[in-house]
Amino acid sequence: MSQDLSLREEVERELGWEPIVRSAEIGVGVKDGVVTLMGTVASYSAKLAAEHAAVRVRGVKAISSQLEVKPAGPAERSDADIAWAAANVLAWNTLVPSGRIHVHVSHGHITLEGSVDWRFQLTAAEEAVVNLAGVTGLTNLVTVCPAVPAEDLKNDIETALAREVEAVARRIIVEVTHDRVKLWGCVGSWAEREDVEQAAWSVPGVHEVSNHITVQSALTAIAAI
C-alpha cells in the first residue's frame, strides 16, 4: 500500500469520528502528503471540524479545502438575520470587549473588524459566531493592539514555547520585528506546527504570526535534531 493511500484511509477514519461531519459526503484526495477535501457540508462549523480532523492525522503536510457550505432548511438565514445574531452573541460574550468589534455579512460570510488588547479576545469573538445558523464562512480582521518591545516579545515567545511545546521548542527559531513574529524550524506533524503557532499567539502583544515551520515525517524530524 502506497504512503498516500494509507494516509487517505487514516484521514477518512478520522473524519468518521467527527460527530458533526457526514464523512460519506466528503471526498478525500492525497498527493505527496497534501490532503484535498471535496464535497458539500451543511454548516461552516462542520467544514472547520472536517479540516481540523484532517490536520490531526500524522503525516499530513498541508490541507487544500474545497468544501462548500450549503445551509438547508431551518439552517438557512438571511444576511440581516446573521448580522443581527452575530452582533447580539458578541454583545453577550464576557470575553469580547464591548463596542470594539464590527460585523459585516455577505452571502452568509461574516467579516469581523476592529481591535482588541489580547489575542484571546480575538479568538473569543471568532468562536462566538462560527456556529451560528446560516454562516458559510468567516474572515477575522480584528487586530491586537498593545505595543511590546521586540526583544521582550521574543523572550516571552521562547518562554511560552519551552512551556507549552517543550518537545519541539528547541527546533524552532523565533524572529520578531516590532509586533510581528516569524517562526522557522521543523516538526513531525501538522498538529505540532499548529501548537507552536498557538503558543506564539498566546503571548500578549503579538499582532501577526507568519508560520514558516515545515512538516516532515517523524523519523526525518528526529534525524534533524
Q: What stretches of the chain adopt beta strand conformation (E)?
A: 26-31, 34-41, 62-69, 101-106, 109-116, 137-140, 143-144, 172-177, 180-187, 208-211, 214-215
Which pLDDT score, from 0 to 100, does residue 212 have?
94
The dihedral through the CA atoms of 196, 149, 210, 223 has a sign that is negative
Over the range 186-200, which residues count as b (16 or more CB within 10 Å of their CB) and which as e? Answer: bbbbbbbbbbbbebb
- 118: nearest Cα among 203, 14, 6, 210: 203
Q: Judge contact between 123 and 108, C-beta under 8 A.
A: no
- What pTM value is reported for the model? 0.63
Spatial separation of the C-alpha atoms in residues 22 and 207, rounded to whole Å = 36
pLDDT tens-digit profile of 73-128?
776 889 999 999 999 999 999 999 998 999 999 999 999 999 888 888 999 999 99
The predicted-structure confidence for 153-210, as pLDDT tens digits, reads as follows 899 999 999 998 888 888 999 999 878 899 999 998 888 999 999 999 888 888 889 9
**Residue at 110: amino acid letter:** I
All structural domains of the chain, each given as residue ranges with its CATH number in brackets, are 3-70 (3.30.1340.30), 76-144 (3.30.1340), 150-223 (3.30.1340.30)
Query: Longest Cα pair distance anywhere in the chain, in angstroms?
Result: 56
